[in-house]
A = this chain, B = another copy of it.
Amino acid sequence: MTNLGIGLIGYAFMGAAHSQAWRSAPRFFDLPLNPAMTVLCGRNAEAVEAAATKLGWNETETDWRKLLTRDDVQLIDVCTPGDSHAEIAIAALRAGKHVLCEKPLANTVAEAEQMAAAAAEAAAKGIRSMVGFTYRRVPAIGLARQLVAEGKLGTIRHVRAQYLQDWIADPEAPLSWRLDKEKAGSGALGDIGAHIVDLTQYITGDRIAEVSGQLETFVKERPVAAAHSGLSGEAGAERGPVTVDDAAIFLARFGSGALGVFEATRFATGRKNAIRLEINGSEGSLAFDFEDMNELHFYDATEDPATAGFRRILATEAVHPYVAAWWPPGHLLGYEHGFTHQVVDLVTAIAEGTDPAPSFADGLQVQRVLAAVEDSSASRQWQEIPS
């Protein structure tokens, strides 16, 4: 089988998740190409070397540009913070490498536009690109989309979506790159709000047309972590500004007229990674919570009222998306499986010569929604999403 050499840039949280995906995908799925874990890239030579050994990559590089010149690398997997996505991804596409880019696509709409343009150009030459909205690949989410597409919900009336975390609810939680606008571009809105924008659009097959939002930074200053301040033993003494939002809430109107209510926060004490979605249509409803990610709740309003009720579907049956490759019913999948499924879909698209989804254009559209939320928060008015 033909190899597909992978060059992964970044080896923190996302790097580890992507590594596990590249490693596991061919062991459970029949892939048309054989992904090779060729090279891991990071700026610190010693650290990247250690990471490569740990995560199972054959070689390392410290300059991502080198990856673009290697013949044994056909795909660049971008797991860096958002501020370098545009530069790397555009260069990679121009160098003829397929690109998988973590979300959010970029830190600004302008960058995202350039990336989408580059992706379109590359696509014309058979070079593929995908943005990593990995939660689309949770089987219960795939099932949700199927049910909507089959018309089981009728006309969609309501979308409510929350992405709730609590890791900085404590005002003494230290600063990190995710709280720095230069690096991260955005806070809860871009980091986790982006996911629920993508998921609700993906499931409904509809797009957000306009929004009214509000951003908030509850804790405006935080301790500088020792590692960042360079002053060991004095962690906590120095404080620095939080330059991104802690939480974002917004109303939305979908193209179809459905009403949406969105909330992304890192201050929901007790909620660890609660992606909660609920969709109400004229003929049925769906509910999902990532903290029970193997379950989809479905209400069929056309049934006999005596026995109608939300069904807890354990999305672990062979008929559910991706599941046949794994374990018997009731043997749960976890967080990392979404990354494996993402790789499966991407490799399949590359081999088949089709454009995988979500595309960079899809990522750009999400970025525009997020930008409209920010604008709306400033203008205190509804804001339309340019198409």
Contacts and interface: CB of A to CB of B under 8 A. Distances in A.
A241 interface: no
Contacts of A310: 270, 311-312
A285 B269 contact: yes
A149 to B, nearest CB: 13
A307 B305 CA distance: 18
A313 B299 CA distance: 10
Contact of A298 (B290, B309, B334): B309
A330 B23 contact: no
A267 interface: yes
Interface string A147-164: 100000000011010101
A347 to B, nearest CB: 16
Contact of A169 (B160, B301, B330): B301
A309 B314 contact: yes
For the side of the interface on A, what is the size category? 35 or more
A56 to B, nearest CB: 6
Given A143-B306, A158-B267, A270-B310, A171 B250 contact: no
Residue from the set A251, A269, A305 with the largest chain B CB neighbour count within 10 Å: A269
A139 to B, nearest CB: 11
B307 A311 contact: yes
A381 B282 CA distance: 29
Contacts of A204: none
A214 B334 contact: no
Contact of A269 (B143, B261, B301): B301
A134 B284 CA distance: 30
Nearest to A270: B299
* A contact patch SS: mixed
A265 B160 CA distance: 12
Interface in A190-219: 212-214, 216, 218
A37 to B, nearest CB: 11
A157 B265 contact: yes
A336 interface: yes
A166 B334 CA distance: 23
Interface in A323-351: 327-337
Contact of A299 (B28, B162, B269, B319): B269
A317 interface: yes
A263 interface: yes
B253 A214 contact: yes
Interface stretch (A120-128, A179-187, A271-279, A360-368): A271-279
A280 interface: yes
A317 B311 contact: no
A261 B261 contact: yes
A17 interface: yes
Given A24-B20, A157-B247, A306 B320 contact: yes
A19 interface: yes
B380 A330 contact: no
Given A292-B292, A333-B334, 18 more contacts: A157-B169, A157-B247, A158-B247, A166-B280, A214-B251, A216-B259, A267-B282, A270-B280, A270-B310, A271-B330, A272-B314, A272-B328, A291-B294, A300-B307, A311-B311, A331-B334, A331-B335, A334-B334
